[in-house]
Each structure stands twice: as C-alpha cells, then as structure tokens.
Amino acid sequence: MKILFIGDYSNLHSTLARELRRRGNTVTVLSDRCGCMDIDSDIYLQRGNYPGAGVTYLYRLFSLLPRLSGYDVVQLINPHFFSLRPG
C-alpha cells in the first residue's frame, strides 16, 4: 500500500511510517520538521520568514503536487500545517 502522511507533530507520523515500512508498505512523510524538534521527514516543506516567503512557499508547494499523487491513503494531521496566509 502507498501511504502519504502530511504534517507531523511530536513524531507521530515518522514513528508510524517507520513501522508501516517495516511491514512492507511504501510511506512518505511530508512535514516542516515540527520546528525545533527537527523531526525526520521524506519531504521537507517550511515557510520562510522574509519578504516574498509566501510566493516561494506556494511555488514549492505547487511544484511538489506531482510527487503527492497516486497514493492509496493520505492523512493530513492538521489543515493548519500548510502555512497559507497573506504576506
């Protein structure tokens, strides 16, 4: 089974992904590494804090979309994971 986890808080998705991989599943974790915790992820996506960071973030997000298709299961841990805000 091909599984995509979007977002990771307190290492939940990384730990679950490790076990699911051990059981023969293909698992991808997309996260911002949960700030200072530096959680392991397969795809790293974080919004910067500088002028134009929103445009850069959206460009990176849209460029990732082809890699995020074709999964059997997708779990979004929190819709606020995506830093979509003005500025």
Q: How does pLDDT run across 10-61, given as a tens digit for each residue?
A: 788 889 999 999 999 999 998 876 666 667 888 888 777 888 878 888 898 8
Phi, psi at 25, each rounded to 5°: -90, 155
Predicted pLDDT at 64: 92
Pick left, alpha or beta for residue 46 (phi over 0 → left; psi -120 to 50 → alpha; otherwise beta): beta
Domain-wise residue ranges, the chain: 2-79
Residue 80: which residues within 8 A CB-CB, separation 6 or more? none
pLDDT of 82 strictly over 60? yes
Cα dist. 13→19, 21, 34, 43 in Å? 10, 12, 11, 13
Predicted pLDDT at 85: 65
